[in-house]
Structure 1
């Protein structure tokens, strides 16, 4: 089957499944609403901050506070895009129609990634502008140094979370198993490793903690992380590549 037909087929699959569409919409709403609320709270608390906290105050990063929950929906989206076909048994039909497994997988990833990036980018621009409006006199401007990079980077971060989830779901095939591993990994294990002194140097190289750096404009006073925004994003990309490569290797070797 020609590559364009495969891409069209994958697009039809994604938009025809209500759960995948709803998860993207939920990711947008949660990211924007929570970002606005946290920005408003930060504005009200600014006068009571210490001098050190004011030096580390990052209005751009605050407006992306909602990505902490928005990425939850992106994880679900990534898992569903891949594992829906396994849970329904449609994977056999799909692989019969597209026996070139590389074409099948990367067409699916290309369509889902493009859609996720479009939604994530619009969401992050909305979260930024609405969040800055809530911050009032403490707001940042899109033209300030590093701000545009952070906004676009936030969109890339959310997209990469989805692609990483697609790679893991391709490896595991089960939606329940994939979510059962990814949710604790991002919302429990990563947070624990990153905040416990004995493991924080390991935790900072996990995909979410490294990727988060791309959204930061102001470096905290006590920051000792050995990489910057683009270095953090590169680490996250490496995790994504490993997940997708693992999924592709297993898809080629095993039966549907």
Structure 2
């Protein structure tokens, strides 16, 4: 019988003693904040050159999160490494011997890793927002404006969910190389292409990252058939599906 507190402590020890997983979290924070700040600064300097439509639909909050597109890749890497490290080193056999209940092992790992990803995601989101607004000058907004706090809080949720999605799929693929080969190109390139090409736009808007990022918008441009929480809900369904399939694979396959 697995004791939940022991399983959680064990998973926490595994994560904090592997430097690569912690470095990916640090990279997610640094990349998201720095890139968001840089783009916010560039937009402030070129704001008068924007078209009338772009100025009227300008979203200072979303601009602060411009670094998320790259920062999320580091969070995805964290999710991949948390799961794949055990398969790569063969430690998964020892883990399953210590915790024969595979559901308990998966739940313990996902709980610890997701809470850590959410904590870093929240810090990243608020840091990116305040840094971005600091350089936007007269175009900035504040947390007290309608929808802003929701967007900033949602940004942290998004980062945590994207890591959890990567963990679920890595349980399915059970290989760091295969997981990186599938997830990185998809979120860095394929998803953006599908969401921005007219022929595939309707499909692209329902992909996990495209739907989830709607939570970080305050200004509604009318290009999505759902609202902020609806988009995050769609992403949550993707995450739940990935975790469920990961559990079924873990349960049925040998280590």
Report if TM-score (shorter chain) is over 0.5.
yes
For 1:218-229, what aligned pairs fall within 5 Å after superposition?
A: 218-220=219-221, 223-229=222-228
1:164 is matched with 165
CA–CA separation in structure 2 for the residues paired with 1:91 and 1:2: 18
TM-score by length of 1: 0.98
CA–CA separation in structure 2 for the residues paired with 1:174 and 1:202: 28
Gaps of 5+ in 2: none
CA–CA separation in structure 2 for the residues paired with 1:85 and 1:168: 15
1:245 is matched with 244
CA–CA separation in structure 2 for the residues paired with 1:101 and 1:237: 23
Deviation string for 1:208-246 (max 9, x for gaps)?
0000100000112xx331100000000000000000000
Q: Secondary structure at the match of 1:65?
A: coil
CA–CA separation in structure 2 for the residues paired with 1:49 and 1:18: 43
Deviation string for 1:32-86 (max 9, x for gaps)?
0001000000101111122211111000000001111100100100000001000
CA–CA separation in structure 2 for the residues paired with 1:210 and 1:80: 25
CA–CA separation in structure 2 for the residues paired with 1:50 and 1:70: 28
Aligned length: 254
1:81 is matched with 82
CA–CA separation in structure 2 for the residues paired with 1:50 and 1:23: 37
Greater shift in the superposed pair: 188-197 or 227-236: 188-197
1:145 is matched with 146
TM-score by length of 2: 0.98
CA–CA separation in structure 2 for the residues paired with 1:35 and 1:224: 22
CA–CA separation in structure 1 for the residues paired with 2:219 and 2:224: 13
Runs (4+) of structure 1 moved beyond 3 Å? Answer: none
1:184 CA displacement: 1.1
Is 1:187 aligned to 2:188, yes or no?
yes
Is 1:39 aligned to 2:40, yes or no?
yes
1:31 CA displacement: 0.5
Deviation string for 1:114-156 (max 9, x for gaps)?
0000011011101101100100110010110000000010011
For 1:126-145, what aligned pairs fall within 5 Å after superposition?
A: 126-145=127-146
CA–CA separation in structure 1 for the residues paired with 2:167 and 2:58: 34
In angstroms, what is the RMSD of aligned CA positions? 0.6
Is 1:123 aligned to 2:127, yes or no?
no
CA–CA separation in structure 2 for the residues paired with 1:18 and 1:180: 22
Q: Secondary structure at the match of 1:218?
A: coil
2:9 is matched with 8
